[in-house]
Amino acid sequence: MRSLHDHTHTRTSLDRQVSGIAARQHGLITRAQAMACGATRGAIRWRLGVGRWEALYPGIYRLAGTQRSWRQNALATCLHFGAGSAVSFRSAALLRGVSGINRGMLEVTVPRNRNRRGSGSLTIHSEPGGIPSEDITTIDGIPATAPARTLLDLATVLREEAVERCLDEWLRRRLVSLPVLERWLEDPLRRRHRGVGVLRRLVDARVTIGVTESDLETKFLNLLRSNEVPIPMLQYVVQDGARFVGRVDFAYPDQRVAIEVDSFRHHDQRRSFDAERARGNDLLALRWMVLRVTSKHIEEDPKGVASWVRRALRRYPES
């Protein structure tokens, strides 16, 4: 017959193992994991009864004393729905640091044959057979749609300019690349997705004109588009014969119009005052007009900015 000491030792050993797993899972443990550590059904019932564990879903438990969080809820939901489930859409973007997304909302995509009951703060999307394994990655231990798949999903729920800003940011952070996205969009499985048209249009545009280097540049590009101003080349390199003159944020090469979108902090770090003026003089000597647009101009007077660009293009007709 086992002594009280033996029971206490076994209980302590089990709790230690469970705590180690929960520490890597935002304070969570599954029934299967607990039983693999030696927990019996009675031991699980006892811990639930005395408040050591709390059931978030059937078979998904939160250890008492662990901090409640959005990420804990996200992982618990994915564990509940099982294989083929992942945080998706806006919530997957939030996991990757995209700003402006409501943390009170959680979006998860699950296999279509699973119980899909959601709640006010939980939106359940479904997909036959669940999300393909190649479209799922892990962020901080939480299953989430891969960047390319997330962009495709976002294209069905966000305005195109918001998807564009996310695309540009992830291109800069090298979470995605244009060659990979081009190949990925050609996959027959993706061609049927509702967001493929929007994402393909944005990717094709980046292949043609280049990629922005800041969120402010993306906002400027949206400003031009919304005011029906021709779209310029991005990160254009100006040369005088074989001599490198400089690289400008935006350019209309045929009209020799360059546009610098100034985020003061970014530009002051990137180029010294003297070098900036020397480059500007070189451009003027080559008959380039240089427009300077600030974040204040973009936010407070978008119509005025669009007018500046139109007038510059009229003054410098195509060569």
Q: Write out pLDDT tens, residues 155-211.
A: 999 999 999 999 999 999 999 999 999 999 999 888 888 999 999 999 999 999 888
Q: What angle do CA 19, 25, 28 make, to 5 degrees?
A: 65
Measuring CA to CA, which residue among 45, 94, 215, 46 is closest to residue 107? Answer: 94
CATH fold of 215-315: Endonuclease; Chain A (3.40.960)
**C-beta of residue 50 within 8 angstroms of C-beta of residue 80:** no
**C-beta of residue 106 within 8 angstroms of C-beta of residue 87:** yes
Q: Write out pLDDT tens, residues 134-170.
A: 999 999 999 999 999 999 999 999 999 999 999 999 9
pLDDT for residue 7 is more than 70? no
Q: Which residues does 299 contact at the CB level (< 8 Å), separation at least 6? A: none
Q: Write out pLDDT tens, residues 26-40.
A: 999 999 999 999 999
Q: Can you tell me which residue has the tokens 């443990």?
A: 29
The C-alpha atoms of residue 30 and residue 286 are separated, in whole angstroms, by 68
Q: Which amino acid is at 151?
A: L
Residue 87: what are its φ and ψ, rounded to 5°?
-60, 135
pLDDT for residue 288 is more than 70? yes
Show me where the domains of the chain are located.
Answer: 10-63, 69-145, 156-210, 215-315
The C-alpha atoms of residue 260 and residue 246 are separated, in whole angstroms, by 12
Q: Write out pLDDT tens, residues 265-278.
A: 544 455 566 777 78
pTM metric for this prediction: 0.81
Q: Write out the two tokens for 319.
A: 């060569």
Q: Which of 114-123, 149-158, 304-313 has the weakest average pLDDT?
A: 114-123
Residue-averaged pLDDT of the chain: 89
